[in-house]
Amino acid sequence: MSIDVLLSGFEPFAGAATNESWEAVRRAAPQLESRGVSVATARLPVVFSRGADLLLEQIEARSPHLVIATGLAAGRRAITPERVAINVQDARIADNDGRSPIDVPCLAGGPVGYFSTLPIKAMVEAARVLDVPAAVSQAAGTYVCNDVFYRLCHALRADASAGSRGGVAVRGGFVHVPSADVVGADDAARALVAMVEAALRSDQDVRITGGVES
Active site residue 65: no
Distance CA 59, CA 46 (A): 18
23, 106, 125, 145: which one is catalytic?
145
Q: Which of 73, 67, 81 is nearest to 200 (CA)?
A: 67
23, 125, 153, 176: which one is catalytic?
176
For 139, phi and psi rounded to 5 degrees? Answer: -155, 135
Active site residue 154: no
Distance CA 210, CA 83 (A): 10
For 4, phi and psi rounded to 5 degrees? Answer: -70, -50
Structural contact between residues 73 and 142, judged by C-beta atoms closer than 8 angstroms:
no
For 201, phi and psi rounded to 5 degrees? Answer: -95, -5
20, 23, 82, 125: which one is catalytic?
82
Distance CA 74, CA 32 (A): 25
Active site residue 176: yes
Active-site residue set: 82, 145, 176
